Each structure stands twice: as C-alpha cells, then as structure tokens.
Amino acid sequence: MKIGLDEPIACRPVAKPSSSKKVQRAARAAAASKGARERRELGFPLALAVVVILGVALVVFARSSRTPAAAPRVGNDHWHSAYAIFDCDRFLPAFTSAADPDGIHSHQDGVVHVHPWNSSAAGDRADLDVFFESMGARVTDDEISGPGIGVLEAGSNCDGEPTVIRVVRFTRIDPDDPDAPRADDPATRLNDIYEATDVYTDDFGDVRLLGDLEAFTFARVPVGAEIPPPPEDRLQTALAASAGNLLSTGPETDLDPTDAPPGE
C-alpha cells in the first residue's frame, strides 16, 4: 500500500541511550558470571588432582626413607634364634650359606642372627623371607631346599605316610609360671623350657622375627606329627651368641654358587 505525502507517518519509539547501556552491562555481567563459574568448575578437579598427586608422592617418599620404629632396629637390636630342619624323624644339617646382605643371616651354626644393617630388614620387615634369601634357601608349602640339605618335597613319604611342610615357632616358657620347668634344675634341658606357640602351614617367608632367643623348626612331616624344637646344642649356641660371645662385623653380600637353591 502506498502512503500519500499528506498522510501522517507512524513513528517507532526509539530506545533511550540509558536503557541500551543497561542492557549491555547486564549482558557483560552475565558473561563474566558464566566465565567465573566455568573457571571454578574447572579449577576444583585440577586442585583435587594436585592434592592427590602430592599425597601419593609424600607416601612413596615416606615409605622409602622411613626408619622403622619397631624392633629390631638398625644399629640397636641384636637377636639370636636357634633353627633346625626336621625331616620325618630326624634333624638335618643347618644351611651352609654365610652371606649377610641385610643383617638377618647365619654363621653356619644353626642360629638366625638378627641385626638389621638397613631398613629393608628392620621392624615389620624383619621376617623369615630375608633369612631364606641370605641362605639361598626356599621354604614353601611345596618344598624345603637349600645349601647342605638338597630338596625335601611335600607329598613324598615318611614311612609310607604322605608329608606336608610346616614351620613352628617356639618361645621360652614364662619362668614365673609355677608349672614351668626350672632352668636352674640340673635335670632340666633347654628343650624343656621352650614351647610351640605358632604353627604355620603356608606363607612362611612372611613369618615375623619377634625377639631374642626364639626358635624355629622347618619340617617335612606327616600331617599331625609332633614337631620338636631345635636340638639342645643349637639352643645353647643361640644363648651363648645372645650373651655377646659371637658378633657380626658387617654386610657380606656375595652368595657362594653352592648356596643357591635348585631352580624353579
């Protein structure tokens, strides 16, 4: 439709400058608020990741550098525990290795000498696995093997009975027990003042070394067979060593080739 020159023209309202500025400021404020919110949402997981990474790093560092507070402690404790290998109904010779890389070893005397040289053999890390490694020995639920004794396999017969591998911890009987044998009685043997306190059926390397003058027997026997403590002379050697008559001088890291147990 055409509009005549003489006809009035309708005018659109024009926004005031102040209203336009208000709209622009509101838009900018909304954009800024959105950007801050996005930065906050992104910043939280990043901060959490940094905290986790730092925490893991601190734990790794602490574990690698800590000195265990529990005994045996490096440079403080020196324990001795008699041990023996028992097969069916007889004791075998002691392991022949004298290697001592970490401070849990033997002088080929049937005694476990415990005096950690480093944190890897101290505190709750002082266990039979460290001893077996220094002996070049293996004691598992399948076999006992090592220098001086060959291989004793579980399942083979003892007088016609199938066998199992067991490790027994013996501790000294409390001398205050009125029923305990008296150590000062001439008729009392050292074996009489020890009693079996723990019998282990597997995971022998994880068995902790807990104190001075314990005793251990590593045995291949029929199920249910009685397992004796180490022989009298071994217990006496441990007792004499604990009195300071036999000390270790320092790490001895090299195993003789004959110390290594048979291959897998």
Per domain, the residue ranges of the chain are 18-65, 79-259
As to burial, measured by CB atoms within 10 angstroms (0-12 exposed, 13-18 middle, 19+ buried), residue 116 is: buried
The tens digit of pLDDT for each residue in 121-161 reads 999 999 999 999 999 999 999 999 999 899 999 999 999 99
Q: What is the pLDDT of residue 87?
A: 97
Among 90, 92, 94, which Cα is nearest to 221's? 90
Q: What is the pLDDT of residue 3?
A: 44
Q: What is the pLDDT of residue 220?
A: 98
79 neighbors 209 (Cβ within 8 angstroms): yes
Q: What is the pLDDT of residue 5?
A: 45
| Residues in the chain with pLDDT values less than 50 | 1-5, 9, 11, 14-15, 62-68
Q: What is the pTM of this model?
A: 0.69
Q: What is the pLDDT of residue 80?
A: 95
224 neighbors 201 (Cβ within 8 angstroms): no
Kindly state the helix (H) or strand (E) to which residue 153 belongs, with its residue range.
strand 150-153
Strand ranges for 27-149 from DSSP E: 79-87, 90-92, 104-105, 111-114, 138-139, 143-146
135 neighbors 142 (Cβ within 8 angstroms): no
What are φ and ψ of residue 65, in 5° steps?
-115, -5
Q: What is the pLDDT of residue 257?
A: 64
Q: What is the pLDDT of residue 47?
A: 65
